[in-house]
Amino acid sequence: MLSNYRQIFAAPGSLAFSATGFLSRLPTSMVGIGIVTMLSQLRGSYAVAGAVSAVMALAAAAIGPQISRLVDRHGQRRVALPATAVTTVSTVALLLCARAGAPDWTLFVCAIGMGTTPSTGALVRARWAHLYGSDAARLHTAYALESVVDEIIFIVGPILSIGLATSLFPEAGVLLAGIFLAIGVLLFTAQRGTEPPVHPATHESGGSAIRSAGLRVLVLTFIATGAIFGAVEVVTVAYAQAQGHKGAASLVLAVYALGSGLAGTVFGTLRPRGPAARRFQLGIGVMALSMLPLVLAARWCTGPVGLLAVGAALFLSGLSIAPTVITTMGLVARLVPAAQLTEGMSWITTGLALGVAGGSSAAGWLVDAAGAAAGYQVPLAAAVFGVLVALAGGRRLRMAGAEPAPVEAGTAAPSSEPARP
C-alpha cells in the first residue's frame, strides 16, 4: 500500500510542496473555531463570535474563486503572496481590535479582509495535476493523499486552536493560525520548480470556470455535502451535551474524520474502473444512506451508549467522504481547462463553505426547536438533496467528462480515469 504513495514523491520537489502545503492550509480548520473561542471569552457573546466567523467564511467563499482565477492567469507566487499579506494584516488587526475592545463593526471589517486567504488546498492539487496529468494512476493517489491530509488538518487544527486559546490567552489560536499561514505560504511559493505554468490567453478567452455545467452540478452537490458536515458538527456537540458528556464531542467528531482518512488512504491505492461520474454518484448515494444509522442511533440510544452508537455511525458515514472528494477533484480536472484548474477546485471549496454555514445554522435552529437527537435530520435532508442533484446532473457530468479537458499545446490534461493497458 505504502509503495503507491512513495511513488508519487519520486518527482523532484513533490515532498517539499506537499509538506509546505500542509502547513499553509492548517489554518483552514483553526481560524473559524479560534475566532469563536477568542471572542466568546473577550466579548462574552457567542452571537457576535459566530457572526464574525460566518462573515469571514462567506467572504472567503465569495473572494476565494476570484483569487484562484488570478492564480491561473498570473501564477501561484505572484497572487498567493499578496493575498496572504492582506490576510495577515487583517488577522493582526482583528486581534488588536478584539483585545482593545474596539466596536463590533471593526471585527466584521477585519473578517472580510481575512477572506482573501488563497485556497492553498487547490494550489497543492494543481501542482500534482501539473506533475502527473498524463499519469492517471499517480494523480489518483496524489489526490487521495491530499484528502487524507485534509482529514488530519480537521482533527489537529481545532484541538490546537481551542487548546491554546483556553490554556494560554484568548487570541492564541487565531495568532498561531496566522503564523502558520504566513510561513506556510512563503515556503510553499518558494518551490518554484513545481509551480504550474500559466495560460493567460486561454483563461481570458474561456471566461470563468463556473460556466461549465458539469462544475455547477459538482458545486451544488458540495453545498449539500458541506451542509452535512456543518450540521453534524453542531448537532454532535449538542447531542454530547444532552447526554451529559459535552467534552466527548471532539472525540466523536475525530472518529468521523478518522473513518474518512482511513477510507481515503485505502482508496488511493486502488485503481477504480468505470466512469468517474458514476463513481461520484455512488459516493453521494452511500453518503446519504450512511445518515440513516446516525439518525436511528441518536433517536433510540441515550447516555454513554448513545455516544458510542453515534460515534460508530459517524465512523461508517466517514468512510464515504474521502473517496467521494477524491473522485470529485478528478472530475474537476476533466470538466475545466487546465488553465482554469485552480479556480475550478476553489469553486468546490466555496460550495463546501456555503454548505457548512447553512447546515450549521439550520441544525442549530432545529436543535433549539426539537432537541439534539432531532438535529441529525438536517444532515439526512441535505444528503438526500445532494443525491437528487447528483442524479439530475449525471448526464452533464458524463458528457463533460467523457474527453480530457482542452489544454495548451504540450501540456498533458489531468485525468480522473485510470490508465488503460
Residues 6+ apart with CB under 8 A from 30: 157, 158, 160, 161, 173, 174, 176, 177, 180
| pLDDT of amino acid 87 | 95
Q: pLDDT by residue (tens digit) across 183-195?
A: 999 999 999 888 8
Q: Which of 120, 259, 251 is nearest to 185 (CA)?
A: 120
| pLDDT of amino acid 228 | 92
Q: pLDDT by residue (tens digit) across 33-81?
A: 788 778 878 887 767 777 788 788 888 888 888 898 888 888 899 999 9
User: Does 413 have pLDDT greater than 60?
Assistant: no
CB burial of 126-155 (b: ≥16 within 10 Å; e: otherwise) equals: bbbbbbbbebbbbbbbbbbbbbbbbbebbb
| pLDDT of amino acid 20 | 93
> What kind of architecture, by CATH, is found in domain 14-198?
Up-down Bundle (1.20)
Rounded-to-integer distance, Cα 388 and Cα 156, Å? 33
Q: pLDDT by residue (tens digit) across 168-179?
A: 898 998 999 999
| pLDDT of amino acid 399 | 64
User: Does 400 have pLDDT greater than 60?
Assistant: no
Question: Is the model more confident about 326 or about 292?
Answer: 292
User: Does 372 have pLDDT greater than 60?
Assistant: yes
- pLDDT band at residue 1 under the 50/70/90 scheme: low
Q: At what angle do helices 276-289 and 213-242 cross, to 10 degrees?
A: 20
Q: Indicate the CATH number for domain 199-405.
A: 1.20.1250.20
Domain boundaries, the chain: 14-198, 199-405
User: Does 342 have pLDDT greater than 60?
Assistant: yes
Do 14-198 and 199-405 agree at the fold level? yes
Residues 6+ apart with CB under 8 A from 73: 198, 200, 203, 204
Q: pLDDT by residue (tens digit) across 74-123?
A: 889 999 999 999 999 999 999 999 999 899 899 999 999 998 988 888 89
pTM: 0.77
Q: Is residue 11 helix, strand or coil?
A: coil
Rounded-to-integer distance, Cα 9 and Cα 141, Å? 11
Residues 6+ apart with CB under 8 A from 367: 234, 235, 238, 374, 375
